[in-house]
């Protein structure tokens, strides 16, 4: 029983120090968080899409008027 306990504790200590794959897990969590945030932003009542469309329309209008004058 004592040998099993020592082997288990040694394995757990080694496992605790092993950081392989941690970065991949962190990137995975970031990707999931971004997916949730983007889904919440774009699946809402459409205010964000309306604001983005208006902003791009304004940019297009300004660029068109600037290039038409030259």
pLDDT tens track for 10-66? 888 887 777 777 788 889 999 999 999 988 877 777 787 888 899 999 999 999 998
Q: Supply the pLDDT for residue 54.
A: 94
Alpha carbons 7 and 14: distance in angstroms, whole number: 11
Comparing C-alpha atoms, which of 57, 17, 52, 25 is closest to residue 9? 17
Report the pLDDT value the prediction gives residue 34, as an integer from 0 to 100. 96
Q: Kindly report whether the global pTM for this prediction surpasses the value 0.75.
A: no
Please report, for the chain, the start and end positions of each structural domain, with discontinuous segments joined by +: 2-68
């Amino acid at each position: 029983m004592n040998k099993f306990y020592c082997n288990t504790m040694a394995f757990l200590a080694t496992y605790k120090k092993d950081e392989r794959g941690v970065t991949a897990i962190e990137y995975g969590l970031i990707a999931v968080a971004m997916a949730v945030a983007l889904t919440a932003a774009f699946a809402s009542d459409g205010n964000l899409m309306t604001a983005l469309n208006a902003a791009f329309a304004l940019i297009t209008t300004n660029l068109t008027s600037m290039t038409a004058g030259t």
